[in-house]
């Protein structure tokens, strides 16, 4: 079709309608719309053309995405969970749902000083990418609000804190504990890469744990530097993004990077969990030699993820075909935990 759909605004933008005019139909959030007209009720919708899997556009109603609120009227703000150069994250109780939430408060003035005049584009990209994903091992983003000076992002609360805190408490984690967590983060990354999203800041501080139990649901968080990969080439972005200690060589040297940069950062994060801060003293893969009796399968995974040649480095789907990830018992325990606590089904990046 030369024309697929028409979006119409009525009542000064308060009512927005989607009308399909294509030959094969369109999908709104996975639901087929064929030669019909519907009201777009949410602030964000995914539009697919002809096939459900062909995600072509994202509709975003900005006036609905950034509602104006008084924070204290909506939340009871509690302790500080973490802070950055222009944002703080607090634990809070929602007065509306009486549930625990994490509230990220972004100061617009500080953000503009750090990023420059294009800061609003940066903020929009973060909240829109985060809001478009839905995976049991990715921290949920709920609503986004703003006041005159601040932007508020309401997110799922992770009672177990960051993986970084667990590493600091235990110094190192054993292989079984690492596998239980990184199995989940690997599934989340493979999901993002299928959607052509590169996270670009995989590190222990951005892996959140839902409880303090040894076996807990792990969730990937912080989409502050995430980006869509629109080209087919694996070399796309040339900007430096992320945290240097976990940054892939192609990112550091600005030779061009894509989703495979996340694979390197995944490997460095796994290595950091397994050997502790030794990974930074002995510079990467050599840190494995500091731990006796490391099994071959784990060595293979870490060695492959830290391959400097990006063409030789496996993607996340390929990585799950290595023996270390072929642990049915571990996956079944994870699957059961995810289903009980979230009601969702965790899928592997490949068919077993």
Q: Tens-of-pLDDT digits for all 352 residues of the chain?
A: 678 899 988 766 567 889 999 988 999 988 899 888 887 866 678 899 988 888 888 887 655 555 556 788 888 999 999 887 788 999 999 888 889 999 999 988 888 888 777 777 778 888 888 988 999 999 999 888 888 888 899 999 999 999 999 999 887 799 999 999 999 999 999 999 999 899 999 999 999 999 999 999 999 999 988 988 865 444 455 555 557 788 888 877 666 678 899 999 999 999 999 988 877 776 666 777 666 678 999 999 999 999 999 999 999 999 999 999 999 999 999 999 999 999 999 998 876 5
Is the distance from CB of 100 to CB of 157 less than 8 angstroms? yes
Residues 6+ apart with CB under 8 A from 322: 297, 300, 301, 304, 314
Catalytic residue from among 20, 143, 201, 262: 201
Question: pTM of whole model > 0.85?
Answer: no
CATH fold, domain 67-156, is Phosphorylase Kinase; domain 1 (3.30.200)
Helix/strand/coil for 19: strand
Is the distance from CB of 180 to CB of 334 less than 8 angstroms? yes
Kindly report the CATH class assigned to 163-342: mainly alpha
Annotated binding site for ATP: 104
Which regions of the chain carry the CATH code 1.10.510.10?
163-342
Measure the CA–CA gap between 278 and 234, rounded to whole angstroms.
Answer: 31
Q: Say whether 72 is catalytic.
A: no
Which regions of the chain carry the CATH code 3.30.200.20?
67-156
């Amino acid at each position: 079709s030369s024309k697929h759909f028409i979006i119409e605004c009525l009542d000064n933008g308060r009512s927005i309608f989607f009308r399909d005019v294509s030959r094969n139909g369109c999908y709104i959030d996975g639901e087929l719309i064929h030669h019909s007209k519907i009201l777009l009720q949410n602030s964000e919708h995914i539009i697919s053309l002809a096939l459900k899997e062909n995600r072509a556009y994202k509709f975003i109603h900005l006036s609905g995405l950034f509602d104006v609120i008084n924070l204290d009227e909506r939340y009871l703000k509690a302790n500080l969970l973490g802070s950055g150069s222009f944002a703080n994250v607090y634990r809070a109780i929602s007065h509306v749902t009486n549930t625990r939430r994490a509230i990220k408060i972004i100061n617009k003035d500080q953000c503009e000083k750090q990023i420059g005049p294009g800061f609003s584009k940066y903020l929009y990209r973060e909240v829109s990418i985060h809001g478009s994903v839905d995976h049991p091992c990715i921290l949920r983003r709920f609503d986004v609000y703003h006041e005159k000076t601040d932007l508020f992002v309401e997110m799922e609360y992770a009672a177990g804190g960051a993986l970084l805190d667990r590493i600091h408490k235990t110094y190192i984690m054993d292989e079984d504990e690492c596998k239980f967590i990184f199995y989940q983060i690997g599934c989340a990354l493979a999901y993002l890469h299928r959607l052509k999203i590169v996270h670009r800041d995989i590190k222990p501080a951005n892996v959140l744990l839902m409880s303090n139990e040894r076996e807990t649901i792990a969730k990937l968080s912080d989409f502050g530097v995430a980006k869509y990969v629109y080209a087919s080439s694996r070399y796309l972005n040339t900007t430096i993004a992320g945290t240097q200690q976990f940054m892939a060589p192609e990112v550091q040297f600005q030779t061009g990077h894509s989703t495979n940069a996340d694979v390197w950062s995944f490997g460095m994060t796994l290595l950091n969990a397994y050997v502790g801060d030794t990974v930074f003293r002995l510079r990467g893969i050599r840190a494995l030699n500091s731990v006796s009796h490391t099994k071959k399968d784990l060595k293979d995974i870490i060695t492959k993820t830290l391959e400097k040649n990006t063409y030789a480095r496996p993607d996340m789907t390929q990585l799950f075909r290595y023996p270390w990830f072929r642990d049915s018992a571990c996956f079944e325990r994870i699957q059961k935990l995810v289903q009980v606590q979230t009601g969702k089904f965790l899928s592997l990046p490949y068919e077993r």
